[in-house]
Structure 1
């Protein structure tokens, strides 16, 4: 038998990237199910089918995983809509992103409840500042839609945005209520369509 050929550098790089992605996918599931405080790197490694030491090697530990997941979720949100996206399509895009990725959405909820810490105090302040700026920008866009006649001006733009978030996340935060009210799987396409249509009727401006 001939000697085994050593793996090419590009093959090693591809294998490493696949391992990183498996770990991140497992981390989303573990954090989504248990929160940051309840999650363990051993559980993440078991889900990913890798040695626990690889989490430290690639991400520096549990906090590094959370930081990377946060960054990716921000990128996903930033690419959901464009300035030309209609109100109806914007609602649909946010519903799809949330309900297609329930573990990511649960991680967002855990973070909102204060369970997901930051690397240091400065990082936490920067994140809070970005969130405030993001909310201010979203409210301003709602006001522009009100001026353009897309969204009703019968309600405050801030309340309209809060209502939209509450409905979009309801299948994640209150699945038993959604199931009881609509009689279907909270994550099903049918429930998603109903929530989208009703939210548009509630907040859209009547012709």
Structure 2
């Protein structure tokens, strides 16, 4: 009898804050699944059905929350720009900034693959605001290196542009060309040994003359 009464008892309606929390959790699952899907296949190769399957959600929710595949990509790139901005807080030395960037790149390979895919032309939004923001961020990074050179922290024998390029190459090489990293240096591409060696060698190259 008691079991029958419980079965007939109406379910408690979810509170607004509970529904909001569930929606946020679903959005985050979709974004994480999309990051993995884009990292593995690029934007062109990824499918919303694949993202939905990874996230364990109905495919229609991707359109509901993000407006489709492009909307998911836009949100991921917005978050990437925020991540990058947080890696170089004021007061850090160049070595500390590079170490933070290197660790973030290698510890978050799906994010890094997303950047590499875009560099290979797998980008539906060339010229979009995010692209312009990237150019502005690059210009500021170069200006920051020049200020460090003027202050005597880094050598001015090497061009600021080349220092920035070299920093990106060292960070992304283990993701884009892991076999070359291991063959040349004899260490695992994502290892602590690779990271320490990069810091030491870059510091030696950029030490003031």
Query: In 2, distance between residues paired with 1:165 and 1:203?
Result: 15
1:127 aligned partner:
130
**Counterpart of 1:4 in 2: which secondary structure?**
coil
- Cα gap change, 1:144 to 1:125, in 2 (>3 Å): same
Alignment of 1:78-97 (within 5 A): 78-97=85-104
Instruction: Give 1:131 deviation, angstroms.
Output: 2.2
Runs (5+) with no aligned partner, structure 2: 1-5
Q: Does 2:19 correspond to 1:12?
A: yes
1:201 aligned partner:
204
Instruction: Give 1:126 deviation, angstroms.
Output: 3.2
Q: Does 2:111 correspond to 1:108?
A: no
- From the CA coordinates, give the structure whose radius of gyration is larger: 2
Q: Normalising by the residue count of structure 1, what TM-score does the alignment of the two structures yield?
A: 0.91
- Cα gap change, 1:26 to 1:199, in 2 (>3 Å): same
**Counterpart of 1:184 in 2: which secondary structure?**
coil
Instruction: Give 1:83 deviation, angstroms.
Output: 2.7
Q: Which moved more, 1:127-136 or 1:45-54?
A: 127-136
The answer to whether the 8 Å contact 1:31/1:107 transfers is: yes
Q: Deviations over 1:148-204 (max 9, x none)?
A: 121111111111111111111111111111122333331222322222222222223
Instruction: Give 1:125 deviation, angstroms.
Output: 4.4
1:144 aligned partner:
147
2:3 aligned partner:
none
Q: Normalising by the residue count of structure 2, what TM-score does the alignment of the two structures yield?
A: 0.91
* 2:174 aligns with one of 158, 162, 171: 171
Q: Does 2:66 correspond to 1:63?
A: no
* 2:48 aligns with one of 30, 35, 41: 41
Corresponding residue pairs, total: 202
**Counterpart of 1:5 in 2: which secondary structure?**
coil
Runs (5+) with no aligned partner, structure 1: none
2:183 aligned partner:
180
* 1:26 aligns with one of 26, 33, 46: 33
The answer to whether the 8 Å contact 1:95/1:196 transfers is: no
Q: Which moved more, 1:73-82 or 1:177-186?
A: 177-186
Query: In 1, distance between residues paired with 2:192 and 2:60?
Result: 39
Runs ≥4 residues deviating over 4 A: none
